[in-house]
Chain A
C-alpha cells in the first residue's frame, strides 16, 4: 500500500542571482511500513526534499510536481493545512539532537504542546502519554525526565527524546534527517535499533536521510541516491549496495571505512559538488567523475531502468558488464 507518492518534485530557491534548482524532478514512493533511504553529500537536496514534505521551505521557494500522501496532494497546501499534517501525519527527527531541543523549555512542555494541538487531548492526558512515549524510547525515569531540560541529557538521550516527540501524535511517516550522524558509533547503533523497532511496533514508514550508506544498509529497504538535487540511482538497498551502477554511488561506497581493511585514510571523492543553481544540463557529477566522457555533458541524460526497480542515470555506465538482467524498456 503506497503511503507517499512523489512525482517530478522540483524545488527552486531564491538566491541573489535568481532562482536556483535545489531539487530537480524527483520521483519516488514510500509504502506503509517501509524505510526509504535517501543518500548523498551535503547540498545534494536530501534535506530540502524532506523539508518540502513538511512544508517548511523558505517562503519564497518555488515547488512544482506532486507529492501525494495517502492520496492527498501536499504540494500547494496553505500554511494552515500544512499545520494539520506536520507533526500529526508526517513527523521529523533532525540531525543534531544537541540543538533541536529548545534549551529553555522543559521536556514536558515540548513533548506535550503538539499533542494538545493535534490530538485535542487535555494537558494531563498528554503528560501521561508523554511518559509512556519516553519509556517506549528507553528513557530511564521518564517522570523525572519530563521535568528536566535538554541540557541535562546526553546526545543519545536527547535524540531518543526527539524521536519520542516526533512519534507523539502517531504519525504515519517519519522523516529522519541524519538522526544518528552527530552521535557516537555505539549510540548510533542504539538509535537505529530503536527506529527499526518503532517502525514495526507503530506501523511506521520512514524516510531515512544520510550521507552514510553504511548506516542505510542496516535498516532500509529502498535506496535513493541524490547528487546535486537530481536522482543518480535508486532501487532496493541490497541491489544497489552490491552492484552500484552510478560512479557516484560507487564513490560513496568507497568512502566508507572498511572494517576488514587496515587503511586508515578513507577514499573520498575528489572535488566539490556544483554550487546551487550552477548544475550543468548533462551529468552534474561529470566534472568529478573519473569515467567522464563527452557524452556526459550537453544533452539531458535519460535514466536506465533495470530489474527490481533498479534505476540509474549515467551516460557512460562504467560498471555495465558487472550487472545481470539488464533490461531496456
Chain B
C-alpha cells in the first residue's frame, strides 16, 4: 500500500466537517451578537410556529427557539471538547502506563479497561449521573468515565508497537529516563492517532451527553442545552419545531466531528488506521 499523499483539505468530507464545525464555533463565540433574543427571556407568545420574527418558532414559555439553539452551542461545544480532552488525558495516561511498564501493571489496567468496556456505556453513564445527581457537570463526568478506555487501548497498542523501535531503545541505552521515553520519544508516534480518535470520539461523546440531558440527567432548566430542548419537544409532538431544530443542531455538530475524524483516519497510514479501528 502506498501512502496516501493527500492533505485533509483535499478530502471533501473533511472540508464539510471543518466548515460545519467552524460555523458552529463562530456561532458559539458570537452568540450574543447573532441571537435575535435572550435565550431565557420569555419575550414572545408561547409555542408560536416558525414565522418571520421567530425563525425557529417559540417554546412553551415563549422563548425564541433560534436563540436557544444558538446559545446551546455555547453549552454543548465546550462541554464536548472538555469531555473529549478529559477522556483523552485519562485514557492516554492509563494506556501509556500499561503499555510502557507491561507486566502485571499492564494486565491489571487492561482488565480494568475491559470491565469498563463491558458495561453498556449509556447505562453506566446513566447510573453514575443519577447517583451523583442530575447536573450537567456530573453528566460530563459520567461520559468521561465511560469514554476513556478506547484511548487507553489505542495508546497501549501504539506504545507496545513502538516501544522497541530502535530510537527508543537507543535513547534508553543512553540513560534517558522513563518519562523522557514516554514524553519525548514516543509522543510523536502516539499523538497523531490519538487526535484522530479524539475527533471520532467527540461525536460519540456529544451524543451521549445530549442523551443524558434528554433523559433528564444532564442540563437543568432553564439552560438551553440541545438534548434537554429535544426532551421538551418530546412533550409536544405537534409543535415539531421544538424538537426538530435542536435535534438538527446535535446532528450537524456530531456529523461534522465524524466527517472530520473519518477523513483524518483515511489519511493516516493504513496500519495505524487499522489500530484505530480496533
Residue of A nearest to B5 (CB): A16
- What CA separation (Å) do A102 and B6 show in the bound complex? 34
Name the 3 nearest CB pairs between A and B, nearest first. A16-B5, A16-B6, A16-B4
In the complex, the number of residue pairs spanning A and B with C-beta atoms less than 8 Å apart equals: 3
Shortest A47–chain B CB gap in Å is 16
**Chain B: which residue is nearest A15 at the CB level?**
B2
**A16 CA to B5 CA, complexed, in Å:** 9
CA distance A85 to B77 in the complex (A): 60
SS of A interface (majority): loop
For B6, what are the chain A residues with a Cβ–Cβ distance below 8 Å? 16
What sequence of 0s and 1s flags, for each residue 1-25 of chain A, a beta carbon within 8 Å of any chain B beta carbon? Answer: 0000000000000001000000000
3 residue pairs of the A-B complex, CB under 8 angstroms, read A16-B4, A16-B5, A16-B6
Kindly list chain A residues whose C-beta atoms are within 8 Å of the C-beta of B5. Answer: 16
In the complex, residue of chain B having the shortest beta-carbon distance to the beta carbon of A16: B5
A16 to B6 CA separation, bound complex (whole angstroms): 9
**Cβ-closest chain A residue relative to B10:** A16
A-side interface residues toward B, CB under 8 Å?
16
Q: Size class of B's contact patch? A: under 10
User: Please, how many angstroms separate the alpha-carbon atoms of A16 and B267 in the complex?
Assistant: 14
When distances are taken between beta carbons in the complex, the residues of chain B under 8 Å from A16 are 4-6
Q: What's the minimum C-beta distance from B266 to chain A, rounded to whole angstroms?
A: 13
Q: Which residues of the partner chain A approach B4 to less than 8 Å between Cβ atoms?
A: 16
A71 CB to nearest B CB, Å: 38
Complex Cα gap A16–B4 (Å): 9
Closest chain A CB from B128 CB (angstroms): 43
CB distance from B11 to the nearest CB of A (A): 12
B162-176: which have CB < 8 Å to A?
A: none
Instruction: Name which residue of chain A comes closest to B6, CB basis.
Output: A16
Closest chain B residue to A276 by CB distance? B2
Rounded to whole Å, the gap between the CB of A116 and the closest CB of chain B is: 35
Per-position 1/0 for B1-28, Cβ under 8 A of A: 0001110000000000000000000000
Q: Distance (Å) between the CB of B21 and the closest chain A CB?
A: 26
CB distance from A140 to the nearest CB of B (A): 38
B176 to chain A, nearest CB (A): 32
Quote the shortest CB–CB distance from B245 to chain A (angstroms).
Answer: 41
Smallest Cβ distance from B24 to chain A, in angstroms? 32
Complex CA–CA separation, A16 to B3 (angstroms): 11
| Cα of A200 to Cα of B219 in the assembled complex, Å | 82
Minimum C-beta distance from A246 to chain B (A) = 28
Alpha-carbon distance A109/B99, docked complex (angstroms)? 43
> Which residue of A has the minimal Cβ distance to B4?
A16
State the CA gap A16–B11 with chains docked (Å).
13
Interface string of B189-222 (1 = CB under 8 A from A): 0000000000000000000000000000000000
Complex Cα–Cα for A16 and B2 (A): 11
A197→B193 CA distance, assembly (Å)? 53
Chain B residue with Cβ nearest A275: B2
- What is the bound-complex CA distance between A119 and B6, given in angstroms? 48
- The A-contacting residues of B in range 1-58, CB under 8 angstroms, are 4-6
Measured CA separation A59–B206 after assembly (Å): 41
Proximity bits, B69-93, A CB within 8 Å = 1, else 0: 0000000000000000000000000
Q: Bound state CA distance, A199 and B183, in angstroms?
A: 60
Q: Compute how far the CA of A166 lies from the CA of B226 in the bound complex, rounded to whole angstroms.
A: 63
Nearest CB on B from A278, distance (A): 13
CB distance from A18 to the nearest CB of B (A): 14
CA distance A120 to B5 in the complex (A): 48
Smallest beta-carbon distance B134→chain A, Å: 51
A242, chain B: closest CB distance, angstroms:
38
**Least Cβ–Cβ distance between A98 and chain B, in angstroms:** 19
